[in-house]
Amino acid sequence: MLSHEDNERLVRVGRATPAGALFRRYWQPALLSAELPAPDCAPVRVRLLGENLIAWRDSSGRAALTGAFCPHRRAPLFFGRNEECGIRCVYHGWKFDADGACTDLPTEAPGSPMRNHVRIDAYPTVERAGIVWAYLGPAEMAVPPPDYEFTRVPAAHLHVTKTFQASNYLQALEGGLDTAHSSYLHNNRLGDTSYLRNRDGAPKIEVIRTDYGYCYTSDRDAGEDGRYFRVYHYIMPAIQLRGNLTSRTGGPAKVPKIDGHVWVPVDDETCCIYNFAYTDDASSSFSAQYRHEFDTDYGRAPEDFIEGTFWLKRNAGNDYLIDREMQRTQTYTGIKGINTQDMALQEGMGAIVDRSTEMLGSTDRAIVTMRRMLLDATRAVERGETPPGADPISHRDVRPHDGMIRHGSNWRDEVGDKIHAKW
């Protein structure tokens, strides 16, 4: 459990909060590159770490992330004209470039010195893995841009999607780091012992702290077949990597791949999840059919979204379209979509969980460690230090693993050479 004070320290993400200051020391996904399809395209509203922003692509193709309101009379720049390497407010014509500098003040006299003092907030961006990443922290403490293995994978070997969730980032992150729940919440094949998680619902958890977060393992007894063993990575502040060689639902065909999520706080009560998968086999790639089957399996295919948004049709307003007959006879939840199942439980907890009332068990070790590390990191930032995992050199070469190992063996001997990046 967490005290109310520590919980508040972790869940509030505004600019003047401990967790907000922490998250601003890392590059954060702001939106998908595809949301800015061409130079001078329409601006896109972005809310990130409690700040209202707009994203736009200037005439040179550069992705910009700037304040959402004109400093003149606070008119919304979402309605602005994106033209000639700048965003122009349609209220009085004031114009700003991607760095936030004012480039035109048509309501003032030519040569007015006022132009040199007018700015809007602007944040550095880079585009990698089909994502526009932004750094919202102090410029003098900036770290190198993201360099996760999935950011280096060729586009044909990578798949990235995005979903919004009506909950604080922390309970979503905790779900991702909770390996035990997959034997229950994501059991879509009741009674099928070929589904390895059905054989052992109480995995043994080991957490190994690192300079980027931690590596953690899940060890399940699979009977005469050996041990079903997974190696995960938690990269601070809110990224998970996991191997996923097997289909949980009989959905998409088996393709050697690595999955993961980046949980991004939108504000205190909403988060955005960037879901990624990539193959580690340079000779293979994801077909369009596989991508669709994979997304369908997870409940985030194009037809699963409310049109024109990143919000799912299955949501709290319709009880995630739970099918009680399916729950009795086929799946543990009766809810379609692996990530939709997560969302139903995490949103159902309320926007922010009161962790002072919870009772944790042995399989929550990874969650407890994550909370401690985040709390320690908020205090490190308050001391003016660089938090763990901010420099990509600490984690650029890590990768997870999913597979069988022998009874009585040391997992490091069996999979140690498989958890290093290839790309």
Per the structure block, which two tokens stand in for 99?
């760095």
For the chain, the first-to-last Cα distance in angstroms comes to 39
Residue bearing tokens 């809110």 = 238
What is the pLDDT at residue 250? 44
| Domain 28-134 of CATH type 2.102.10.10 | yes
pLDDT one-digit tens code per residue, 85-128: 999 999 999 999 999 999 999 999 988 999 889 999 999 999 99
What is the pLDDT at residue 249? 41
CA distances from 161 to 114, 131, 145, 230, 233 (A): 43, 10, 20, 23, 20
What is the pLDDT at residue 2? 92
What is the pLDDT at residue 243? 87
Whole-prediction pTM: 0.95
Q: Does residue 312 have a pLDDT over 90?
A: yes
Helix (H, G, I), strand (E, B) or coil at 53: strand
CA angle 330, 334, 339 (to 5 degrees): 115
Q: 401 pairs with which residues across the strands?
A: 231
Per the structure block, which two tokens stand in for 357?
């009332």
The answer to whether 266 and 164 are in contact (CB under 8 A) is yes
What is the pLDDT at residue 78? 98
Kindly state the percentage of the chain with pLDDT values over 70.
97
Among candidates 179, 166, 169, 150, which has minimal Cα distance to 237? 169
Among candidates 265, 82, 242, which has minimal Cα distance to 178? 242
Among candidates 151, 133, 95, 385, which has minimal Cα distance to 278? 151
Higher confidence at residue 253 or residue 78?
78
What is the pLDDT at residue 111? 86
Calculate mean pLDDT across residues 161-172.
98
Q: Does residue 245 have a pLDDT over 70?
A: no
Calculate mean pLDDT across residues 290-307.
96
The answer to whether 132 and 31 are in contact (CB under 8 A) is yes
Q: For residue 53, report the phi and psi dihedrals to the nearest 5 degrees.
A: -135, 170
- Which class is domain 149-418? alpha beta
- Burial (CB < 10 A; 0-12, 13-18, 19+), residue 315, is middle
What is the pLDDT at residue 35? 98
Spatial distance between the Cα atoms of 197 and 199, rounded to a whole number of angstroms: 5
What is the pLDDT at residue 255? 64
Calculate mean pLDDT across residues 203-213.
96
What is the pLDDT at residue 196? 82
What are the residue ranges spanned by the domains of the chain? Answer: 28-134, 149-418
pLDDT one-digit tens code per residue, 126-165: 999 999 999 999 999 999 999 999 999 999 999 999 999 9
Cβ-based neighbour number of residue 413 at 10 Å: 10
Kindly state the percentage of the chain with pLDDT values over 90.
87
Among candidates 84, 92, 83, 88, which has minimal Cα distance to 102? 88
> What is the band of 248 on the pLDDT scale with cuts at 50, 70, 90?
very low
Q: Does residue 394 have a pLDDT over 60?
A: yes
Spatial distance between the Cα atoms of 5 and 17, rounded to a whole number of angstroms: 12
pLDDT one-digit tens code per residue, 25-73: 999 999 999 999 999 999 999 999 999 999 999 999 999 999 999 999 9
The answer to whether 374 and 236 are in contact (CB under 8 A) is yes
- Mean pLDDT score of the chain, rounded to an integer? 94
> What is the band of 372 on the pLDDT scale with cuts at 50, 70, 90?
very high
Spatial distance between the Cα atoms of 86 and 106, rounded to a whole number of angstroms: 14
Among candidates 132, 126, 135, 128, which has minimal Cα distance to 158? 128
Q: What number of H helices and E strands is found in the chain?
A: 8, 19
Residue bearing tokens 């693993």 = 401
Among candidates 68, 64, 81, which has minimal Cα distance to 132? 64
